Amino acid sequence: MELPVIDLAPFLQLSAKSSGDLAEEKLDHELKNLCSEVSRTLRETGALLVKDPRCSAEDNDRFIDMMEEYFEKPDDFKRLQERPYLHYQVGVTPEGVEVPRSLVDEQMHEKLRAMPKEYQPSTPMGPDPKWRYMWRVGPRPSNTHFQELNAEPVIPEGFPEWKDTMDSWGYKMIAAIEDVAEMAAIGFGLPKDAFTSLMKQGPHLLAPTGSDLRRYGKEGTVFAGYHYDLNFLTIHGRSRFPGLNIWLRNGQKMEVKVPIGCLLIQTGKQIEWLTAGDCIAGMHEVVVTNRTINAINLASQQNRSLWRVSSTLFAHIASDAVLKPLGHFVKSPTASNYPSLCAGEFVEQELSVINLKGNKGEL
């Protein structure tokens, strides 16, 4: 099975003609079908490939080039951007800090053992051997009960282009997420702004990872153990090294191949909450595979960086907004499994499961 690629251009054009005031009744049959395909694909696979004319392959390359240069710096330099007292919510998170939920959640252990062997995830040997950089994207609320989730950014020395590059790529990916969120809302039978109105001033995080394939390039190495993302939607540009596996709603394991110029979107726990489980958080892992090894060999021949960078952005519901089933999902038989609570409180509860509190969007 291949994930469908959704071209956002027709939706963007109609939205621009409507000056942003796009009512569902203005959508033609083809666009309504496209919105239905977005919601159906997110529901069935937990993932979606999109092509956004505002996000070019060159934009992705510019971002990855800078992050490769950063991650190649000595560890002592990178640790200057470490902020453990802010729960790694900004700045760098060193390798060996992030712990996959599959290591500490006994219920998840039982679920994994019950899977058919061919669909079981790889078993991590400990904390993830990857670095991550956390960069806040978008405005933060002036008044919030969750200040630690809205900390100031950290800029490393020697990277004059850092802020512009991070902000430019981050804002472009947020824009893509917002349009997908509007299309998904329409497809789910909700008002167009059902999701995006809750995202305003959310603690969105551009959170690229860096994995050293010189040290950890052995086939089977787990860079990100089996987990789901706790945020609303996650978006990635194309990585130069493959290795992402996802699990479809039917339990089937699938390797993701992102075409050049496309973005990958994955469902998080917050959209599961808002749809009362109609759309569940997608499970995934990042592992060194045979295709990764082939990409390593090619990069070595071409004298390119052997750091695997993911241009990941976690889009969140605003910390002080209330998470609860929306619209007709209130009447869902599973709605009682998703009680009302502040999104910030939900994030803190999720992160308390693992030993790194407040660190990121994934679990």
pLDDT bin (cut points 50, 70, 90) of residue 130 is: very high
276-291 per-position pLDDT tens digit:
999 999 999 999 999 9
SS3 call for 138: coil
| Average pLDDT score over residue span 324-336 | 97
| Average pLDDT score over residue span 199-223 | 95
Q: Which of 26-30, 213-217, 226-230 has the lowest mean pLDDT?
A: 26-30
pLDDT bin (cut points 50, 70, 90) of residue 150 is: low
Q: Which residue has the tokens 């973005």?
A: 263
∠ Cα 183 236 345 (to 5°): 75
**Residues 195/318, Cβ–Cβ less than 8 Å:** no
| Average pLDDT score over residue span 216-236 | 94
Contacts of 349 (CB under 8 A, 6+ apart): none
24-47 per-position pLDDT tens digit:
656 788 899 999 999 999 999 999
pLDDT reported for residue 124: 84
Q: How far apart are CA 164 and CA 142, in angstroms?
A: 23
**Residues 240/309, Cβ–Cβ less than 8 Å:** yes
pLDDT bin (cut points 50, 70, 90) of residue 106 is: confident
Q: Which domains does the chain have, with CATH numbers?
A: 5-15+24-354 (2.60.120.330)
For 82, which DSSP code?
A: B
pLDDT reported for residue 356: 47
Q: How far apart are CA 101 and CA 76, in angstroms?
A: 28
